[in-house]
Amino acid sequence: MSVLPYTEKMRTASQESAVHDANTQADVCEVNCVHPEAVAQARARLPHGEDVDTASAFLKLVADPTRLKLLSALSTCELCVCDLAAVIGLSESAVSHQLRLLRAGRVVAFRKVGRVAYYRLLDHHVTTLIDSALDHARE
């Protein structure tokens, strides 16, 4: 079966109907599709690649068990790094690394008081997403 880039093939498929060989890759794809109209419809509805990537990155950020615990802990009140480490039972270094990622993804923010960094949720929409995932898990 063909494993070549389909994006190329699909785009040029309509224009290559006049092209010579029946073994053309573009035609193979059209032939391989069992339901071309359903495919075209689904492709039209498919969100753009960059939106998929950012949504995927956001979900990935929440999907990790450590980060999910961190966010769950922060859902009620702000906490500093060593407190968070104590809550989820991990080294402060590991927590700091994860908080860095959450910060980069604009999921959390922090304020510094002396040498203590207090982290908080930046978007409380995350809490509802986590809760719905937890509900889905407990059913």
Partner DNA sequence: ACAACGTCTGAGCAACCATTCATATATAGT
Partner DNA sequence: ACTATATATGAATGGTTGCTCAGACGTTGT
Q: Which residues bind a second copy (CB under 8 A)?
A: 1, 3, 5-7, 10, 13-14, 17, 28-29, 32-35, 38-39, 41-43, 45-47, 51-56, 58-60, 62-65, 68-69, 72-73, 75-77, 79-80, 82-83, 85-93, 116, 123, 125, 129-130, 132-134, 136-138
CB of 135 to a second copy, least distance (A): 9
Q: Is 80 helix (H, G, I), strand (E, B) or coil?
A: strand
Let me know: does 127 contact 121? Beta carbons within 8 Å: yes
Kindly state the tokens that stand for 19. Answer: 């092209």
- Count of residues near DNA by CB under 7 A: 34
Integer Cα distance of 26 and 116 in angstroms: 60
Q: Is 89 left (phi over 0), alpha (psi -120 to 50) or beta?
A: left
CB of 3 to a second copy, least distance (A): 4
